[in-house]
Amino acid sequence: MRHNKKTMKIFRQSTLTVSAHFLHGMLQSVLTHHGEQVAAHVLASATIPQSLLNQPDARLTRQQYVTLYRTVAATLDDEMLGLWSRPIRTGTLKYLMLSLLDAPTVLVALHRFVRFWNLLLDDYRVQISSKNNLVRLALIERTPGAQVNLLGHELMMKLIHGIASWLLGREIILHRVEFRFAKPRHFEDYTFLYPGEVSFHADVTSIYFSYQDCAELFKREKHDLWAFLKRAPEDWTFSTSHRASIGARTREYLEQNIGQPVTIRDLAQTLHSSVRTLNRRFADEGTHFQAVKDGLRRDIAVHRLTNSNTSIAVLAFDLGFSDATGFCRAFKHWTGSSPSEYRKGTRQEEE
């Protein structure tokens, strides 16, 4: 099958979607403090159909995620979405980042980050330490038994990683992340949100970088910062490079060959590896070849159903399905709704 240039451009754009877990987590404080009517307005502003709230396997596009985050933050006047014991008022990130600009190294900047955040949080404090050529930042309970908010812990780790990467001007290598909670249902998303080793049931939630990366000099100007803040939270949430992840490398390869009957043997040949080695690496990341392939096709489908009028039959063909029936069955398995139902819900929100 051949794709025209326009179709390939659509596929090569950022097609990543994230679990409805992030939708529910971001919306919770709005519902609690402002009620269903305001929550409905927030959803409409992000062009998210309310029907997704009743679908545990629904997906958000990257743009929906970013718009929802901004809308919730503005509604609550809380840049951390009501996830902590005290609101992080609008403008906090700006002044935090300004305090880091003249730090000589990333490590000094991270120490300043820790001091800054420890002035704000009542339920947790951030602790920084260095050992065995690693720098660790951990969320430590101020009072034993503090409730673990999954999204709060997830976003704090993303914020630390995103800021360190922005300061360096490249994605800082994430050695590993440890979460205090159990492996969540949306674990698949972690392959792209945390491009490194991830583990669960830890005593504390922590993120680790190499000391060498943290000791690097950096130079950032205010005009760089304004652009970073304007795009927030996109730049600090979504990683730009995932070279260490076999899942991400597979997704990149598949996206370049979408619609083709690619097998794991084709991938192994491209990566100069064996099928056995690839399967072991997939298992280490908690996934497998078909899951990565299905995740990519699901994400492309969600994007195109949301942002285009492509027919179901054409979309099925573009994604490598032999017929629309097979695609519809797969999409319902992935998201809990049929392609036409998903598109209809999105269109209703736009009217």
The two structure tokens encoding residue 119: 């002035």
Across the range 98-117, mean pLDDT stands at 97
Mean pLDDT score, 34-39: 95
Q: What average pLDDT does the structure give for the chain? A: 89
For residue 135, what are its two tokens? Answer: 């720098």
For 9-18, 29-38, 201-210, 328-337, which range has the lowest pLDDT when averaged over its residues? 9-18
Dist CA 326 CA 338 (whole Å)? 11
The one-character DSSP state at 228 is H
Better-predicted residue by pLDDT, 262 or 8: 262
pLDDT, tens digit, 9 for 90 and up, residues 58-84: 899 899 999 999 999 999 999 999 999
CA distance 192 to 200: 17
Residue 330: which pLDDT band, with cuts at 50, 70 and 90?
Answer: very high
pLDDT of residue 234: 92
State pLDDT tens for residues 121-179: 889 999 999 999 999 999 999 988 778 899 999 999 999 999 999 999 988 989 999 99
pTM (two decimals): 0.83
Q: Which amino acid is at 293?
A: K
The secondary structure of the chain in percent helix, strand, coil, rounded to multiples of 5, reads 55, 10, 35
Mean pLDDT of 268-292: 90
Quick one: pLDDT band at residue 101, thresholds 50, 70, 90? Answer: very high
Q: What is the pLDDT of residue 113?
A: 98
Q: Is the pLDDT of residue 2 over 60?
A: no
Does residue 4 surpass a pLDDT of 50? Answer: no
Q: Are 306 and 61 in contact (CB under 8 A)?
A: yes
Sequence-distant (≥ 6) Cβ neighbours of residue 306 within 8 angstroms: 47, 61, 64, 343, 346
First-to-last C-alpha distance (Å) of the chain: 36
Query: How far is the CA of 107 from the CAs of 7, 32, 47, 168, in angstroms?
Result: 44, 38, 40, 11
User: Is 3's pLDDT higher than 80?
Assistant: no
| 205-210 vs 174-178, strand pairing mode | antiparallel
- Taking 60 as the threshold, does the pLDDT of residue 7 lie above it? no
Cβ contacts of 149 within 8 Å, gap of 6 or more: 25, 83, 84
| 275-284 and 289-307 helices, crossing angle to 10° | 70
